[in-house]
Structure 1
């Protein structure tokens, strides 16, 4: 079921976001000096406290994502797909402390997720050239779609294939990069919220190469692999997807509990090409589940192809190196220029996108279902800290994981109001 936030957290984030979206006279009036040489700045990047000679810098930011929508299943006999038509998707407070140029500390807390409120809790060391060492709760280096930030995804939700991405866990990662390539190797345990030792140990590696990176054109290629060994007393493995809409009450594809899993291996292929306002990207992920007692392994797969176009602004920039963690070689969000800001008399920036995605969770005795989705979306960025999204998702699941494998044809409209900094 969709998560509920505390009553006060969205209000606090909304007030701060409204402040940051004000004209230059209100929010961009320059740094305010303090009595000990520190300066306080409030702008579209959040609230920043900088100490003398930039020896230390503390930034506080956040995000609020409010989803609303409606859905219908064409076949009779299924329950209401959206029991809640409005829900808080994310309600974050985040802080970043930079000590000189070599140490970065990040912490993110989501009030809308009572089960896993801690997201990134990372310490990163960058004293060596082109090298970064990170330790803490962070994303494993797997999948371009997953590593892209929640604020910058083209659609409200990631593709069906995101069900295979390991996402955040507690571990150690070492990253290296050149002008066109990156390599991240890592070792992870479980998630900090649910128990670091409870989910076995994973080794995850991702390598990327950009053979074209000139001007506003980028060709990105990536390969990632991960293997996680599962202890005998671990919770049963389960793979599922929420059909690219957070408001769905149940997953149409779901393996259920795989109780005899001993390990999970993943391999992911990714490619993307961006030129000016146009971006196309695709991924394919194959997952193999090893089992006790010599039982035949289970194999599942998924992938997507998506394209986006910024109608009246700059395209998404390619970010080779992050400030911390494992999010190397990703595409950033859409930027809004000063003249385009609604508060300055502009009309904001518009972006359109389309995606086809698929997932196959049927193999052997596991009948998790096969789903294919078509998603069409429009994003409006009226100001630097605001985004309104409208997505239409047409899904076809046959067989499904519901009612003995009945086919499901569903139509969903998803809207999102997002304020972030």
Structure 2
């Protein structure tokens, strides 16, 4: 970290508090009341960002998110390379315009200025003209894994669990979602990510179904199953699994299969369980991935899972959201809400949440040594404002590195202790 970093972060923190608490936006419905644009649009600025409401039942919301991480890590074996290339880094810098037309159409787009490889996140058109049904075309999350479908603004920790390495990134495709009073079902067909040109990773069929046998205002029991089958051709891009030990700042993954040769298909199965009672939430998942290869060569099987829990110490628990605006993010838990009287800018202390997680991944199978890892994470979340969050995580991991990382990390097991902090602003 250079000498200018503290000054830069002091300046950044001032800007963050200004954006997180726009006084005019919070004191009334309109931050710019009485202002009308050239097309009749009426602007409003609040914790959801800048919203333009047009006379013809159209609304444009311009949101975004900024996640900045800082941390340190230590490895138990001497002689291993430094864990973090940088101790401070921007994790995400998104702009997120969403256009809603009437009651039936939603056009969403997310662009990450910090990701040179996959900058396009959500980029879809959704139609809601049929009862309890959403049709979506574009780049979106494949319907798989409760943890993955939750927004990264809402996850309990700075990063998702080790098991998330077995979940595909967003892909371009078509999805149909339907829901009842306590159940959801989503299915779709997907190619590659939009940033990768849609082609080059085969074609996948995916589906997820959830049921909440208990779904009250303060109590929810969630059950879910999901599956993906992806068929690939010999000319498709390389395929692999790897995990960066639940911290973005690590310079390399600790467990890594390396490029798997001749992958003909990949099947994934996932099971979900979650229970919420007031301020208490616990959720768990198990994921299995099976790889088949061309020419009758032996395939591979990998697995991972986690169990995590949280308690909101001085506020309401996380709400359960059955349906999204568009896309595939059905049946997820949202972020902690901050009442006006608890906001720091209104004389409160914010809302505090403590969390713990145990997660594991196993990328070893037959003669392939991709590595194994077990992590225990303790976390503290502070929400001083409704769209501002500070996260502090301690992660203790036990790693047996994969062969793909043996040149840098060797083959002996080691432990890693990581401290990660995040400033998270979203609007």
> What's the TM-score once normalised by structure 2's chain length?
0.93
Deviation, structure 1 residue 19: 4.0
Correspondence for 1:41 among 31, 39, 44 = 44
Structure 2 distance, partners of 1:204, 1:161, is 18
Q: Which residue of 2 aligns with 1:133?
A: 135
* Deviations 1:245-295, CA, capped at 9 Å, x for gaps: 001111110000102111100000000000110000000000000011111
Q: Which residue of 2 aligns with 1:6?
A: none
Is 2:50 aligned against 1:51?
Answer: no
Is the CA contact 1:20–1:42 (under 8 Å) kept in the aligned structure 2?
Answer: no
Task: Map 1:6-85 to 2 at 5 A.
Answer: 18-22=17-21, 24-25=23-24, 27-31=26-30, 32=33, 33-34=35-36, 36-52=39-55, 55-85=57-87
* Cα distance change on mapping 1:14 and 1:170 into 2, 3 Å: farther
Name the stretch that deviates more: 228-237 or 387-396: 228-237
Correspondence for 1:330 among 326, 329, 332 = 332
* Deviations 1:181-217, CA, capped at 9 Å, x for gaps: 0000100000000121111100000000000012210
Deviation, structure 1 residue 40: 0.7
Task: Map 1:64-143 to 2 at 5 A.
Answer: 64-143=66-145
Is 2:294 aligned against 1:288?
Answer: no
Correspondence for 2:416 among 392, 396, 410 = 410
Correspondence for 2:263 among 261, 264, 268 = 261
Q: Which residue of 1 aligns with 2:156?
A: 154
Is 2:353 aligned against 1:351?
Answer: yes
Q: Which residue of 1 aligns with 2:214?
A: 212
Is the CA contact 2:22–2:46 (under 8 Å) kept in the aligned structure 1?
Answer: no
Is the CA contact 1:371–1:400 (under 8 Å) kept in the aligned structure 2?
Answer: no
Name the stretch that deviates more: 291-300 or 277-286: 291-300
Deviation, structure 1 residue 25: 3.8
Is the CA contact 1:359–1:371 (under 8 Å) kept in the aligned structure 2?
Answer: yes
Task: Map 1:307-322 to 2 at 5 A.
Answer: 307-322=309-324
Number of aligned residue pairs: give it.
411
Structure 2 distance, partners of 1:272, 1:89, is 28
Structure 1 distance, partners of 2:157, 2:89, is 17
Deviation, structure 1 residue 297: 1.5
Structure 1 distance, partners of 2:84, 2:391, is 18
Deviation, structure 1 residue 17: 5.0
Structure 1 distance, partners of 2:396, 2:273, is 24
Is 2:419 aligned against 1:381?
Answer: no
* Cα distance change on mapping 1:211 and 1:168 into 2, 3 Å: same
Structure 1 distance, partners of 2:134, 2:11, is 34
* Cα distance change on mapping 1:136 and 1:15 into 2, 3 Å: farther
Structure 1 distance, partners of 2:101, 2:24, is 30
> What's the TM-score once normalised by structure 1's chain length?
0.94
Deviation, structure 1 residue 11: 12
Report the 3-state secondary structure (helix = DSSP H, G, I; strand = E; otherwise coil) of the residue aligned with 1:398. strand
Structure 2 distance, partners of 1:388, 1:106, is 27
Report the 3-state secondary structure (helix = DSSP H, G, I; strand = E; otherwise coil) of the residue aligned with 2:195. coil
RMSD: 1.8
